Amino acid sequence: MASETPPTGTTKTTDPHAGRPYDRSGDALILAATLDLLAERSYERVTLDDVAARTGKAKTTIYRRWATKDDLVLAATRSIGQPPEVAELPDEGTLRSDLLAVVDSPWLGGPARRIVIFAGLLSAARSSPALSDAIRLEITEPYVDVYRRILERAIDRGEIPPQLASRVPILADVIPAMSSHRSSTSGGVIHRDFFVAVIDDVLLPALGAGAT
């Protein structure tokens, strides 16, 4: 079922490869265009003809790589990978600057585009449980986890009193939740001011850090 990578390049059934080779360079292009379209319209309104038109590839070529639309979207999801902050947690010295570092991360093209892509993935998640699981496990959970780890490290550093540790799990959700909600209700672009306000007016005060 999961036919993401048809020929492995080695150990083919008959012949390693004779004939014209796969144009691997096109794959990234197709997956990126799929994500872009998903960010623009909802999952159900993205057609494979759209993807073909935008990439200049033939629809049949796309189907030669991914058997179904769901497979394509799944592969596009997987192509995102995890946020770089998972591998290397930002360490700017203070909790506030650490949070801003995650907000300002260029991952997925920066905050504005990142939010919109998340919204697109969210619409896709409603269409298939497999897709939903993949998005949750590979994208949203690791991302929220970055915030969680940053908050916990602030406790370790003594920046936050340890008795507030129980609030960390729910507070780690605040920035993603607020920005997703803002994006989906107010339709337009989200400015950096909004993220700053969430941090300064919600998150940090909830940790007793702001000037109450």
Partner DNA sequence: CTATTACGCTACTCCTCAGTAGCGTAATAG
Partner DNA sequence: CTATTACGCTACTGAGGAGTAGCGTAATAG
Binding stretches for its own copies (CB under 8 A): 41-42, 44-45, 122-123, 125-127, 132, 136, 140, 161, 164, 166-167, 170-171, 173-174, 176-178, 180-182, 184-187, 197-198, 201-203, 205-208, 210, 212
Out of DNA, its own copies, none, which partner does residue 196 contact, by CB within 5 to 8 A per kind?
Answer: none
CA dihedral 58, 60, 64, 67 (to 10 degrees): 120
CA neighbours within 13 Å on the CB side: how many for 135? 22
At closest approach, how far in Å is the CB of 201 from its own copies? 4
Positions in 65-84 near DNA (CB under 7 A) = 65, 67-70
- Choose the stretch contacting DNA; rule: CB under 7 A; options: 10-18, 169-177, 181-189, 193-201: 10-18
* Alpha carbon distance 210, 189 (integer Å): 27
At closest approach, how far in Å is the CB of 22 from DNA? 4
- Tell me whether residue 17 or residue 191 sits nearer to DNA (CB atom): 17
* Alpha carbon distance 35, 44 (integer Å): 13
167-to-60, 80, 126, 164 alpha-carbon distances in Å: 51, 30, 29, 6
For 73, counting Cβ atoms within 10 Å of its Cβ (0-12 exposed, 13-18 middle, 19+ buried), the class is: buried
- Please give the residue ranges that form the binding site for DNA (CB under 7 A): 6-7, 14-15, 17-23, 26, 45-49, 56-61, 63-65, 67-70
